[in-house]
Copies of this chain bind each other. A is one copy, B any other.
Amino acid sequence: MISGKNYIGNTQAAAGSKTYKTFNPQLNTENKTTFHEATPAEINEAVALASKAFKEYNTISGAKKAVFLNTIADEILALDDELIHMYMQESGLPEGRAKGERGRTIGQLRMFADLVENGSWVEATIDTAIEDRKPAPKPDIRKMMVPLGPVVVFGASNFPLAYSTAGGDTAAALAAGCPVIVKSHPMHAGTGELVASAIVKAAIKSGMPNGVFSNLNSSGIEVGVQLVKHPQIKAVGFTGSIRGGRALFDLAAQREEPIPVFAEMGSINPVIILPKALESKSVDWAKTYANSITLGSGQFCTNPGLLLGIKSTALTEFIGQLAQEIVKIDPTCMLHPNIYKAFKSNKEKAISQSKVHVAADYTAKTNENYGRQSVTTVDGTTFLENPTLHQEVFGPYSILVQCENENELQTIMTTLEGQLTGTVIAEGDDAEKYAESIDALKNRVGRIIFNGVPTGVEVCESMVHGGPYPASTDSRFTAVGVNSIKRWVRPFSYQDWPNSLLPNELKNENPLHITRVVNGEITNKKVK
């Protein structure tokens, strides 16, 4: 049972009079629970507790953090159907997706548990002293990663589990040694509260300091603004719109002590479809992309929103095939009436632009809040001249640009805003022939895909989920995979520090048996 209250550390609180409810987009009705927005005093208390908790949590062993993270995973699983039903009620997404996303969330938590239990992630580096070096002795210097401090995480609307309360940002920050305060997403506050209850239970069970986690309700921007401006907050994670992410970035940059904001924002994920691929596999790609564009009602940051090809009969045929395939697919429910309305109006705006032609539009009647897919097409010159066409239409929509020639394709690639992904569909010598356009594309993205679709973000060490602005505010970090822990840490050096006072990661004996770089050599041996 959920209460609508905030978690200020381990304590539930609801002093605020401002309230709101979540919405069931499938039933097109409000859900029952009344959520209490966190008050300024509650926010300050959560931050004070996080700051205090950091003193202890900051140096807790990897093994203990692993127990905490695994217990969170266990407690989320223990919520069982209650969580799955709440998720479906608040997102309109089907049961399969709810369970799949829960699996991903659990998987991420256990992945970070393994990472910190192993311990080598701290990048321990040791350069031992050379006392007789001339002209001056060389000191003993040892370095490792340490956590930044309390982190604020803003949950994503489109991933109520995997990128929200106990999602990738939270799991990575807790693994790093940073207490986390979640600004709960108002569209799925109930799902958030259930997951928060699991985290709090796990924190208590595994003996973590009170304040290592808080969950604050909020339907507006005030709670988030107060959190980001708070001097004790040291970093921010965000998944959402460019407008929202940029606003937080600006606030953080204007602080007396600026702090990093890792905002994973919009992307239209360009897909270049090259001539030989169209010659041999046009129908296959039309089917594949009809599915990718409409997957999850297009509500993915990696949704392919921009297709590009060189004008030809084959491209015209591909447009026809894609149009034919995409209208066969049944529309599905979007996350919220506001998201549905924004999709409808953004799509209409895009379609109404000069020289934009509709290739496909699902026009049959659907349930309320169901996103009806469209594909439009436009020539390269018009696309280059009209920035409106470069904007993300969040939902099942894609625009196909018919470039005059390779030159125009390359110009478009060069002038595109930063993107999470780019995709190349090629056969034979396509990729060699269009190497310059592909190089230009590489320079604008964080991940490039060959003969595939951008949707589906594999959680692994090699994954980069991020890209040049505005795909993310800091292209130097990924939001997915074990390396996402690097967002929440900084390197720290000890010079001539006594062995007994060093953290275990840096002691001569290597008591944690971790992999370190000792005088330039990668090793898990002791230091002699």
Contacts and interface: CB of A to CB of B under 8 A. Distances in A.
Interface stretch (A365-373, A376-384, A484-492): A484-492
Contacts of A466: 490-491
A491 B446 contact: yes
A448 B498 contact: no
Nearest to A517: B461
A458 to B, nearest CB: 6
A386 interface: no
A438 to B, nearest CB: 8
B143 A464 contact: yes
Chain copies in complex = 2
Given A142-B462, A461-B127, A257 B493 contact: no
Contact of A476 (B250, B491, B496, B517): B491
Contact of A496 (B141, B452, B473): B452
Contact of A448 (B254, B451, B473, B497): B497
A359 interface: no
B136 A497 contact: no
A141 B491 contact: no
B447 A493 contact: yes
Interface residues of A, number: 70
Contacts of A127: 458, 460-463
Contact of A452 (B58, B139, B439): B139
A522 B522 contact: yes
A141 B492 contact: no
Contacts of A491: 446, 464, 466, 476-478, 483
Given A418-B257, A522-B515, A141 B462 contact: yes
Given A126-B462, A138-B458, A493 B448 contact: yes
Interface in A447-505: 447-452, 456, 458, 460-464, 466, 468-470, 473-478, 483, 486, 489-498, 501
Nearest to A448: B494
Contacts of A470: 257
A442 interface: yes
A141 B458 contact: yes
A461 B127 CA distance: 7
A304 B257 CA distance: 22
A225 interface: no
B469 A257 contact: yes
Q: Which of A250, A432, A464, A489 has the most CB of B within 10 A?
A: A464
Q: Which of A260, A443, A448, A451 has the most CB of B within 10 A?
A: A443
Contact of A450 (B442, B458, B495): B495
Contacts of A439: 55, 59
Nearest to A487: B476
A253 interface: yes
A461 B522 CA distance: 12
Contacts of A432: 501
Nearest to A256: B469
A495 B125 contact: no
A258 interface: yes
User: Closest 5 A-B residue pairs measured CB to CB?
Assistant: A253-B253, A447-B493, A464-B493, A143-B462, A141-B462
Interface of A: 55, 58-59, 125-127, 136, 138-139, 141-143, 146, 148-149, 249-250, 253-254, 257-258, 260, 417-418, 431-432, 439, 442-443, 446-452, 456, 458, 460-464, 466, 468-470, 473-478, 483, 486, 489-498, 501, 515, 517, 520, 522
